[in-house]
């Protein structure tokens, strides 16, 4: 059975699958990245994992993978196949596409950014399926995004398109890790809510999920923290929808797990801020933590589609 390898490399772990042409996950596996052993060890772990997946496919389905897709964090030069930089993994300018293709006996390899790959999957087969224009945001430790146009993800001229988390929504606000002040990420990410609620509650171990539960219980301190984050998030989303005019905004990541506690006030806050803009649907992501891996598989199948067309 024809299939591809899909790999999603995170800060501490890797998710992988063998994916059939119809999107069926034929085989799934997970491994640690081994980042505690240094950046070279992470690359070795990726190559070994991919080789083992290819061997499994050959045994189980009678042939090795026809292509591979790998999604990685940080700054990614997907055109040249280079993992340019990742603070989490400690690497710089790693020619990952070439290394993987060599290890996999020359099969074509696609390299993508983890969030853009997740956005690709959500747009094609997840919450945005059938949508021609969408904006995907992952609300985790930070905020990253992806712009979907006609079934593909717009990376931008330099690979930075969709980084809505670094739009300034409160000039003069707290300093962001990017060096600006008042970015949406520093105010409205799950990490930001965790920090604010830990300070407000006096519990240094408290996190965004705890804050959401406190909001649901009617705690006024939590309600204030939550309202502040939702307001900053809505401001950033209105900037995004003004620029992109999406039909759907898809929200994923840890903060989205709050469900209606997030989406109810967020939809209302966005609607209140819009004037001439068309209000898009604002929906939760559908694929969970498998989105990056599924997106990597789609990138691999896209390579094969291009080869057939050519």
Convert the pLDDT of each residue in 271-291 to its tens digit: 999 999 999 999 999 999 889
Going by DSSP bridges, is the β-strand pair 13-20/82-86 parallel, antiparallel, or unpaired? unpaired
Q: 81: closest CA among 60, 59, 58, 102?
A: 102
Q: Distance between CA atoms of 281 and 293, rounded to whole angstroms?
A: 25
Give the pLDDT confidence score for residue 224 in this predicted structure.
Answer: 97
The yes-or-no verdict on residue 267 having pLDDT over 80 is yes
The yes-or-no verdict on residue 107 having pLDDT over 60 is yes
Confidence of residue 117 (pLDDT cuts 50, 70, 90): very high
The yes-or-no verdict on residue 85 having pLDDT over 50 is yes
The mean pLDDT of 187-191, rounded to a whole number, is: 95
The mean pLDDT of 113-132, rounded to a whole number, is: 93
Give the pLDDT confidence score for residue 79 in this predicted structure.
Answer: 86
With beta carbons less than 8 A apart as the criterion, state whether 25 and 2 touch: no
- H or E element that contains 62: none
Structure-model confidence comparison of residues 144 and 308, the more confident one? 144
The mean pLDDT of 50-79, rounded to a whole number, is: 93
Q: What CA–CA distances, in Å, run from 175 to 15, 44, 161, 191, 230?
A: 33, 36, 22, 14, 19
Give the pLDDT confidence score for residue 235 in this predicted structure.
Answer: 97
Q: Distance between CA atoms of 7 and 295, rounded to whole angstroms?
A: 9
Q: Is the pTM of this model over 0.85?
A: yes
Give the pLDDT confidence score for residue 141 in this predicted structure.
Answer: 86
Q: Distance between CA atoms of 98 and 109, rounded to whole angstroms?
A: 8
The share of the chain scoring above pLDDT 90, in percent, equals: 79
Give CA angle at 97 (87, 8), nearest 5°. Answer: 60
Provide the token pair at 280: 């898009």
The mean pLDDT of 36-56, rounded to a whole number, is: 94
The yes-or-no verdict on residue 307 having pLDDT over 80 is no
Confidence of residue 212 (pLDDT cuts 50, 70, 90): very high
The yes-or-no verdict on residue 308 having pLDDT over 60 is no
The yes-or-no verdict on residue 159 having pLDDT over 80 is no
Q: What CA–CA distances, in Å, run from 238 to 171, 224, 235, 268, 280?
A: 16, 21, 5, 12, 10
Q: Which long-range contacts (CB under 8 A, 24 or more apart) does 265-274 make?
A: 265/226, 265/227, 265/230, 266/230, 266/233, 266/234, 266/237, 269/230, 269/231, 269/233, 269/234, 270/234, 270/237, 270/238, 270/241, 272/234, 273/234, 273/235, 273/238, 274/238, 274/241
The share of the chain scoring above pLDDT 70, in percent, equals: 98
Give the pLDDT confidence score for residue 54 in this predicted structure.
Answer: 95
Q: What DSSP state is assigned to residue 168?
A: B
Provide the token pair at 171: 């000039």
Give the pLDDT confidence score for residue 306 in this predicted structure.
Answer: 64
The yes-or-no verdict on residue 310 having pLDDT over 50 is no
The pLDDT mean for the chain works out to: 93
CB under 8 Å to 100, separation ≥6 — which residues? 46, 47, 50, 68, 70, 109, 111
């Amino acid at each position: 059975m024809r299939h591809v390898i899909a790999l999603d490399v995170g800060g501490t772990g890797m998710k992988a699958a063998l994916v059939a042409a119809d999107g069926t996950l034929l085989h799934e596996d997970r491994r640690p990245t081994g980042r505690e052993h240094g950046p070279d060890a992470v690359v070795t772990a990726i190559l070994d994992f991919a080789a083992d997946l290819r061997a499994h496919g050959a045994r189980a389905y009678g042939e090795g993978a026809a292509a591979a897709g790998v999604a990685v964090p940080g700054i990614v030069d997907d055109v040249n196949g280079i993992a340019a930089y990742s603070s989490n993994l400690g690497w710089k300018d790693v020619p990952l596409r070439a290394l993987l293709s060599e290890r996999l006996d020359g099969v074509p390899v696609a390299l993508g950014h983890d969030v853009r790959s997740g956005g690709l999957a959500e747009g094609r087969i997840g919450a945005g399926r059938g949508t021609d224009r969408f904006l995907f945001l992952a609300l985790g430790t930070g905020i990253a995004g992806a712009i979907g146009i006609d079934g593909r993800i717009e990376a931008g001229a330099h690979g930075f398109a969709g980084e809505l988390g670094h739009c300034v929504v409160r000039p003069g606000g707290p300093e962001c890790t990017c060096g600006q002040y008042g970015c949406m990420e520093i105010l409205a990410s799950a990490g930001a809510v965790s920090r604010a609620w830990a300070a407000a509650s006096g519990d240094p171990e408290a996190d965004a999920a705890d804050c959401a539960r406190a909001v649901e219980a009617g705690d006024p301190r939590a309600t204030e923290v939550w309202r502040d984050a939702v307001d900053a998030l809505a401001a950033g989303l209105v900037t995004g929808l003004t620029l992109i005019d999406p039909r759907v905004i898809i929200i994923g990541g840890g903060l989205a797990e709050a469900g209606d506690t997030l989406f109810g006030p967020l939809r209302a806050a966005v609607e209140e801020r819009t004037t001439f803009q068309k209000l898009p649907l604002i929906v939760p992501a559908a694929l969970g933590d498998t989105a990056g891996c599924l997106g990597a598989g789609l990138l691999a199948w896209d390579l094969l589609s291009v080869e057939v067309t050519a």
